[in-house]
Amino acid sequence: MSAALPAQSLPAVAARLRSAGCVFAEDEARLLIAAARTPAELAAMVQARAAGQPLEHVLGWAEFCGLRIHVDPGVFVPRRRTEFLVSQAAGLLSPLPCPVIVDLCCGSGALGVALAAAASRPVDLHAADIDPAAVRCARRNVLPAGGQVYQGDLAGPLPAGLRGRVDVLLANVPYVPTGEVALLPAEAREHEAQVALDGGRDGLDVLRRVAAVAPAWLAPDGHLLTEISDRQVAPATAAVIAAGLVPRLARSAELGATVLIAAR
C-alpha cells in the first residue's frame, strides 16, 4: 500500500467501486491504493474507475503472462485468454539461436514481450501496429525487452531483411464482426480504439490479409498464430489454406480461447 494513504481507505474505496458495479471491488481497491501516490491521485483514480474506465487504463498497466505491461488510454488491454496463444507459440519457437518473433497488430506489444520472456534466451523481436497510440505504448514495453516497434499497415513497415526468416508470427488481430462491436462491454466499446476491435463484416478481414502476406515472411518451418472465436473456425481455416498454409487448432476450455496455428 502506498505510504501516503491510510489503511482505512480500503473499505471506503471498495464500497465506492462496488456501488459503481465493479465485481472485484476489494481487489481493485487494493490495486488502486497501492498505485496512488497521494489521496488526491487516489480520488481521481477511483472516480475514473467508477466512471467505467478499464482498471488497466486507470492503473497504467495490465498483468499478462505474469508480466506488468504498460497500457495507455485507448490502447487495447491484453486479454487473459490470449496468454494461451503465447503458451502455444512458446512451444513452437525454433531451437536455433535467436529465433525471429514478429508481433503484428501488436497493440501494447504484450504478446511479443511475453513470448520473448518465455523463450528465456535472446530472441530477435519485432512488433508493428497501425495506431500511433498503440505504437507509442508498445515502444514502452518492447524496447526494454530488446525489440523494435514499427508503425504502419500490417507487415508493411517491417524491415525487408525479415522476409522468409520469421519463426513465429503472432497476430492477435481485431476479430469482432462490425455488427457486434456495439454489443461489446462498454469498457471495450468506449475505451479501446475502434481499429483494435472491428474486424469487418465477419470479423476476419484483417486475418485474411495477414494470412495472405504471412508466407512471404515465415521461415520454412515458421508458424502464424492467431486468436479467433469458435464461430470463425471454418472461414478462418479456409483463409489460411487459401494462403497456402497448413492449419491446426488449439483450444483452452479454461481460458475460453481458440487459436489457429498455421504452418508454412
Residue ranges in contact with ligand SAM by CB under 6 A:
76, 78, 82, 105-108, 110-111, 129-131, 134, 153-154, 172-174, 193, 195-196, 206
126 class by beta-carbon count within 10 Å (0-12 exposed, 13-18 middle, 19+ buried)? buried
Half-sphere exposure of 162 (CA within 13 A, CB side): 25
Three-state DSSP at 68 gives strand
In this structure, are residues 36 and 28 in contact, taking their beta carbons and an 8 Å threshold? no
- State the angle between helix axes of 205-217 and 233-242 in degrees (0 to 180), rounded to the nearest 10: 30
Positive or negative CA dihedral for 237, 198, 229, 164? Answer: positive
- By C-beta, is 29 or 139 nearer to ligand SAM? 139
- By C-beta, is 78 or 222 nearer to ligand SAM? 78
Closest distance of CB 114 from ligand SAM, Å: 10
Radius of gyration of the chain (CA): 19
Phi/psi at 166 (nearest 5 deg)? -85, 120
CA distance 235 to 200: 13
**Residue least distant from ligand SAM (Cβ):** 107
- By C-beta, is 76 or 217 nearer to ligand SAM? 76
- By C-beta, is 36 or 259 nearer to ligand SAM? 259
- By C-beta, is 206 or 239 nearer to ligand SAM? 206
Closest distance of CB 238 from ligand SAM, Å: 21
Closest distance of CB 71 from ligand SAM, Å: 9
Closest distance of CB 196 from ligand SAM, Å: 4
Closest distance of CB 243 from ligand SAM, Å: 16
